[in-house]
């Protein structure tokens, strides 16, 4: 009987030690459509807002779960003034990564974090759903200077 109890204890301990950690998928709460953008939104936004085309997508040097996306900037409103910008995002949408496509043009909203610009799926989705409203709010923007 002692052997059975001991064996069961070992099996249970083994299962708990080797059981995979819980995995969490990215989940965004549905946002109602906006009717207006707060007047001071751009001034208070901590990051970059620009329109650009994806020139390159590569794995980030520090993490296999992070992508470094290089944009050729066509217009900017905040955070970048040159014709090139780098935005980091998770490599999978399940980790809240934005799925950028090489050659495609985007209106980019990237928050400043840890000394670099980062795009995350939930805020990105809200901005994309309300892109016309943000474009009207932002106006024409400025042309970038060289690198």
Q: Per the structure, how many domains does the chain have?
A: 1
Identify the CA nearest to 28 among candidates 124, 141, 132, 140.
124
Residue 67 backbone dihedrals phi, psi, to 5 degrees: -110, 145
What span, in angstroms and rounded, lies between the C-alpha atoms of 101 and 94? 17
Report if residue 14 sits inside a domain.
no
Report if residue 69 sits inside a domain.
yes
pLDDT tens, residue by residue, 98-131: 999 999 999 999 999 989 999 998 887 888 888 8
Residue 88: which CATH number? 2.40.50.120
With a cut of 70, say whether residue 1 has pLDDT above it: no
Report if residue 17 sits inside a domain.
no
Query: Which range scores top for mean pLDDT: 1-5, 74-78, 135-139?
Result: 74-78
pLDDT tens, residue by residue, 52-79: 999 999 999 888 899 999 999 999 999 9
Report if residue 1 sits inside a domain.
no
> What is the extent of the structural domain holding 40?
26-138
Identify the CA nearest to 30 among candidates 107, 122, 110, 112.
122
Whole-model pTM over 0.85: no
Quote the mean pLDDT of the chain. 82
């Amino acid at each position: 009987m002692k052997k059975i109890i001991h064996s069961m204890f070992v099996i249970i301990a083994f299962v708990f030690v080797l059981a995979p950690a819980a995995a969490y998928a990215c989940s965004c709460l549905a946002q109602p459509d906006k009717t207006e953008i707060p007047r001071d939104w751009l001034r208070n936004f901590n990051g970059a807002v620009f329109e650009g085309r994806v020139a390159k997508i590569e794995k980030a040097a520090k993490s296999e779960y992070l992508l470094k996306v290089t944009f050729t900037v066509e217009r900017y409103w905040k955070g970048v003034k040159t014709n090139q910008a780098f935005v980091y995002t998770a490599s999978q949408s399940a980790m809240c990564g934005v799925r950028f496509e090489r050659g495609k043009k985007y209106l980019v909203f990237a928050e400043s974090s840890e000394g670099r610009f980062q795009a995350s799926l939930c805020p990105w989705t809200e901005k994309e759903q309300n892109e016309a409203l943000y474009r009207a709010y932002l106006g024409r923007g400025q042309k970038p200077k060289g690198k």
